Amino acid sequence: MHKVRLYLVVISVGLLPGFGLKAQSEKGSVAQETGRLVALHQHYQSAAAMSAQGRLAEAEAELRVIVGTCGEVFGKEHPDTLVSRSDLAAMLSEEGKYAEAEKENREVLAIRMRVLGQEHPDTLQSRNNLAATLQEQGRHAEAVREHRAVLAVRQRVLGEEHSSTLDSRNNLATALNEQGRHAEAEKEHRAVLALRERLLGEQHPKTLASRNNLAAVLQEQGHHAEAEQEHRSVLALREKVLGAKHADVFLSCFNLALCLEAQSKDQEALVLMQRAGAGFKKSLGAGHPYTQSAEECRRRIAAEISK
């Protein structure tokens, strides 16, 4: 399992401004199209609710309905159809279906590059999403190339302190860390963390994500005591800000458990890994890679304790 979460999927639940106006004039009566738009909105709400409850397979099914309907109503290259396909790709990634997510992301990216251009924000987001799915599959060199390309454009077009630029720097740093380039990754994470603390505040979820990622880099370099301090602080703040049952809290439990295990603090590590595994199982399902990784780690720690 990846110790650093690259990017947190959020299902789009609102329709874009002007959604369906072209379809109303070309595809049928206003009443018919209004009904279909209402149905689409309901499907989006259902998908978001199911995702929040960990019912990922059901959420995927809802999103597939949305993709099909958007394609029929608006056309395959309409922005809202592409948004729905991006949401589907994100859900596939959440389920651990990375190859399917990659295929979906590549197809959306190709259309956006042709229709919107290489520097459009939606095109850059598609490249970011593709890089994330590549990284989930262990293809770190490819992911680094994509993240660098997106970052360069965002720095030039949006500026160094724009939230999307900082997201790109964060994602590049995580890819560098996975590639074994820990010193570069640490430098990037520290820079992003400093900016997020100043711009967003110390308790913002993205600031906490940066601290989590910095701790992971420190841990990779053997700085276990410093990493443990960061992980404990992030866990406490995430519980306070997000609630004890939030997915990022379980991620912090997992990461802190690994850090403690590396220092032979196995009893506490086991308790935290059990909590992480139970949380992943409830929110993501027993077959998800995160759940399986937590169970594998739990068994390993338990075996070490029993020696």
Number of independent structural domains in the chain: 2
Helix axes 30-52, 79-94, angle to 10 degrees: 20
Q: Does 125 fall in a domain?
A: no
Residues spanned by the domain of 30: 1-102
Question: Which of 77, 102, 127 finishes a domain?
Answer: 102
Q: Does 15 fall in a domain?
A: yes
Question: Which of 102, 123, 145 finishes a domain?
Answer: 102
Q: Does 292 fall in a domain?
A: yes
Among 159, 155, 184, CA closest to 172: 184
Question: Which of 86, 102, 118 finishes a domain?
Answer: 102
The pLDDT tens digits of the residues spanning 96-137 come to 899 999 999 999 999 999 999 999 999 999 999 999 999 999
Q: Does 225 fall in a domain?
A: no
The pLDDT tens digits of the residues spanning 152-199 come to 999 999 999 999 999 999 999 999 999 999 999 999 999 999 999 999
Using CB atoms within 10 A of its CB, is residue 26 exposed (0-12), middle (13-18) or buried (19+)? exposed
Q: Does 109 fall in a domain?
A: no
